[in-house]
Structure 1
Amino acid sequence: MGKGAQGEANGSVDVSRPLKEFTWDEVREKTTKECRWLVIDGEVYNITSWARRHPGGTKVIGHYAGQDATDAFKAFHNDLNFVKKYMKAIHIGTLKETQKEVKPIEEDFRQLRQTAEKMGLFKPSVLFFTLSMLHILFLDWAAWAVMYYFGTGWVPYLLSLIFITTVEAQVGYIQHDFGHLSVFKRSKWNHALHYFSLGFIKGASPAWWNHMHYQHHAKPNVMDKDPDVRLDALFVVGEHMPVEVAKNRKKSMPYNWQNYYFFLLGPPLLFPVYFQIMLFKFIYSRKAYLDLLMVIIFFIKFFYLFVPLLGVGGSLIYYFSFRCLESHWFTWVAQSNHIPMEINHDEGLPWLQLQLQATCNVSKSVFNDWFTGHLNFQIEHHLFPTMPRHNLYKIAPLVKSLCEKHNVSYVVKPLSTAFADIVRSLKHSGELWYSTYQAFHASSS
């Protein structure tokens, strides 16, 4: 192997030599941690070493190894010219001209993105985000003030729980905006407010959120890549996971009853138990000291305010109560858009098809927009994650028209139907697991 080939395999590129031409067959072979390539706009990049330094995390970029990452790249980055400066060192070649053909669905989607840019839909409203943050800060103060001024009887206590649960749910939406870089043009301001909202107000880790959420957006509902569907310890979802789990003779849970125990093990425990464990495990394993500092500040603030009112034990009960309520809010909203949809292994689909098969919308209304943080337009958010959420409804008709042109299903549901479909899909997947498990168990007996 020559020096040039060795350099490519190790991820270090000699930028002085002429760029090579590659075929898709060559690119698709480079999917291991030892050698990973991907394609953006017909150009080939060696991400083997860069993946470890990638600001979005190793996995999110690694999930596109051996594939065309053009639309994912444009979806996640606001300032493409700035990012491309870092790409020169890992640019190793170009696809052969005969293999640069763009599919019609990809070409049309890229034209739609240009249309959205011309319409100014990536420009945030200062007023919208200012009012959103102010209503969060007001309710955060009110959650403490109602008990401070009126005592800790049942009425002020319950009002306080309602206020702080609303704070935690709504700050979850605005931190989501900062995390997707959709509020400020300059990334550093988004990052700063991300730490303030998710760290100081919510008591969680922005680095952990980025690690989990960007993977979800890169490959939604893709088994082994989207962390949101790595659920087989408790649940099986979709059409494919139940069959695979059953064939592997896995019976860690009575999955055929999962539509019932979901109400006990799902929404009530996601935030108070699972996320708390994952959060501190991530901070410890990644040595995320800034995130740890923000979480510590959150708990200092919380106990300083509420221990004088409720005592230590009462404050802990109050804490886990609003975490449980917040968990219900988040779980039903987040899962309604994805769990009832297609869940499968990575098929390398074009961006539009990938996002639409894994995502559905909830009908628009003033309440639904507020209650879901505008993620009732989940389709549009997944297609354009950096678009400010108050503009998502404006691009929706054009997205729907494009889907109709390419015969891609565009699903919109009432909020109640979307919630009910979570349970219905769990029931169907559980029954599929049970019938498959029974069949394989009987045949091997």
Structure 2
Amino acid sequence: MTKVEEKHAGNGSLVGKSQLPLEEKHQANDKPEANGKAKVSPKQEADGKGDTPRKSLNLYSWQEIQRHNQETDQWLVINRKVYDVTSWADRHPGGRRVLNHYAGEDATDVFRAMHLELDIARLYLKPLLIGELAPGEPSQERNKNAQLVEDFQELRRTLEAMNMFSANLGFFSLHLIQILILEALAWLMLWHFGNGWPITICISFLLTISQAQSSFLQHDTGHLSIFKKSKWNHLMHRFVMCHLKGLSVKWWNHRHFQHHTKPNIYPKDPDIDVGPLFLVGDLQPIKYGKKKIKYIDYEKQHLYFYMVGLPLLMPVYFNLQSMQVMYLGRYWKDIVWVSSFYIRYFITFGPFYGIFGTVLLIYLVKFLESPWIACVTQMSHIPMKMSREENRDWLSTQVLATCNVEQSFFNDWFTGHLNFQIEHHLFPTMPRHNYQKVAPLVRSLCAKHGLQYVNKPILKAFGDIVRSLKKSAALWMDAYYE
């Protein structure tokens, strides 16, 4: 045991976004109170000049830390400091599961990647500090490549110095204006020409484009600090996600942050938990096959993907999940905001289509949007490596699970710049208008350490979804009929 000053040189707080602690726990004077401790200004904390006393911290080895990796016993390491987050997990704004995903591991890079306002995040960390790594211990687990980790952290420092994490308000304002124009144009066409079938089809496509582009914008508002004031970021996120999309912010946060922290990792990434309807990757098909599980004919699952997965992802699967999370969690803010989405549609289109017709219009638009969003989100993950937990470094974890689609004006617009999925996963809080600028640096770092940086044409990326489903089906068949 040694005396050290309780000061964080760390990089923030683990995945779940600092924006939500600000919204839910921040006091009126912008001085959050963490577990009853004395209030300290973010600047004082960042400078290590708070009024909190010194206290004795234990020294720990990695061997001991790695034993605390259970749901009821969770320790994290951030910049060589050891934190016990067990009792705080249920209050974590990003959901309790993302903390458990890194229990017993070094969380420095994921910590830094997923948080915007680090000074505030450090205040919530402080009461959880229990010790630090012993002097002889490496900063990461011994199985990780220390040079690779250092090179990635140096790359991030370089990008920060280049101002690559600052959002261009004009870029996102134009994106929002595009969405609002499409919404207004759809109503004006209906008001001027009436509700005949040709006009209904036209406005459905306009609203589909608006919904798809809203999906990309809500991705921005959920990850980025577009405005200087946090409350405006929270408000914009709710406006886009709940009012424009009709989906719950809480549902998206808790699901999406798990995906970002452990992409394509069983069972930590909910985006690859699509059984029993589909089997993806190499492990799940073999598991089902050996257990003789056959809920559907998985040999034809690529056809089910076209018939079921593409059209029903948004109108059925995501909508039902969102409603379930809001109801069971009693997330009243989300319920009110999502209600405003349906109220807006009934006020705008109800006089032309009636209540039942407006409901059909809503789900027709979501039905048309669904294949677009499903292809854009799945083309960068389903064909890539899926595995159980291997405790890799942040760079390797993200690069192995993601791939890019070639850059072009159309690809950028059609995918909302999510064609730069590698950069998006490595730097979730980076504005998407900067992905193209940093991609060459990321590619160079991957080449230095022998990591394959996959970049493919968009049509090949779409085709790889089906090819990967066929490959998984073949693995299932081999195991099932052996």
The normalised TM-score by structure 2 is 0.87
The separation in 2 between residues aligned to 1:188 and 1:430, in whole angstroms, is: 47
Q: Residue deviations 1:208-262, cap 9 Å, x none?
A: 1101101100100111111100011211111111112222332222211101111
The separation in 2 between residues aligned to 1:380 and 1:339, in whole angstroms, is: 17
Pair 1:436-2:479 in alignment:
yes
Match of 2:83 in 1: 45
The separation in 1 between residues aligned to 2:148 and 2:445, in whole angstroms, is: 9
SS at match of 1:408: coil
1:297–1:242 distance in 2 versus 1, CA, 3 Å: same
Is this contact kept in 2: 1:30–1:36, CA < 8 A?
yes
Is this contact kept in 1: 2:169–2:227, CA < 8 A?
no
Match of 2:211 in 1: 168
The runs of 5 or more residues in structure 2 that have no matched partner are 1-34, 38-51, 141-145
1:167, CA displacement in angstroms?
0.8
Match of 2:70 in 1: 32
Match of 2:117 in 1: 79
Amino acid at match of 2:83: Y
The separation in 2 between residues aligned to 1:428 and 1:229, in whole angstroms, is: 16
SS at match of 1:99: coil
Is this contact kept in 2: 1:12–1:90, CA < 8 A?
no
The separation in 1 between residues aligned to 2:245 and 2:73, in whole angstroms, is: 39
Match of 1:354 in 2: 397
User: Which ranges of 4 or more aligned residues in structure 1 deviate by more than 3 Å?
Assistant: 11-17
1:147–1:84 distance in 2 versus 1, CA, 3 Å: same
Map residues 143-222 of structure 1 onto 2, 5 A cutoff: 143-222=186-265
1:314, CA displacement in angstroms?
2.2
1:104, CA displacement in angstroms?
0.6
- After TM superposition, the structure 1 stretch with the greater mean CA deviation from structure 2, 382-391 or 135-144, is 135-144
Is this contact kept in 2: 1:337–1:360, CA < 8 A?
yes
SS at match of 2:391: coil
Match of 2:386 in 1: 343
Pair 1:55-2:88 in alignment:
no
Q: Residue deviations 1:254-293, cap 9 Å, x none?
A: 2111011111110111111111211111011111011001
The separation in 1 between residues aligned to 2:82 and 2:480, in whole angstroms, is: 44
Match of 2:16 in 1: none
SS at match of 2:388: coil
- After TM superposition, the structure 1 stretch with the greater mean CA deviation from structure 2, 160-169 or 250-259, is 250-259
Would you say how many aligned residue pairs link Structure 1 and Structure 2? 429
Match of 1:258 in 2: 301
1:364 pairs with one of 407, 429, 432: 407
1:53, CA displacement in angstroms?
1.2
Q: Residue deviations 1:403-444, cap 9 Å, x none?
A: 0000001000111000000000000001111111111xxxxx
Is this contact kept in 2: 1:241–1:344, CA < 8 A?
no
Match of 2:103 in 1: 65
Map residues 338-417 of structure 1 onto 2, 5 A cutoff: 338-417=381-460
Is this contact kept in 2: 1:12–1:49, CA < 8 A?
no
The separation in 2 between residues aligned to 1:401 and 1:16, in whole angstroms, is: 43
Match of 2:131 in 1: 93
Backbone CA RMSD of aligned residues: 1.6
1:310, CA displacement in angstroms?
1.5
Amino acid at match of 2:251: W
1:420–1:109 distance in 2 versus 1, CA, 3 Å: same
The runs of 5 or more residues in structure 1 that have no matched partner are 1-10, 440-445
The normalised TM-score by structure 1 is 0.94
Is this contact kept in 2: 1:15–1:89, CA < 8 A?
no
Q: Residue deviations 1:18-51, cap 9 Å, x none?
A: 1011111111111112211011111111010111
1:121–1:17 distance in 2 versus 1, CA, 3 Å: closer
Is this contact kept in 1: 2:167–2:224, CA < 8 A?
no
The separation in 1 between residues aligned to 2:406 and 2:66, in whole angstroms, is: 40
Pair 1:333-2:345 in alignment:
no
Identity %: 45
Q: Residue deviations 1:337-357, cap 9 Å, x none?
A: 100000111111000000011
Match of 2:166 in 1: 123
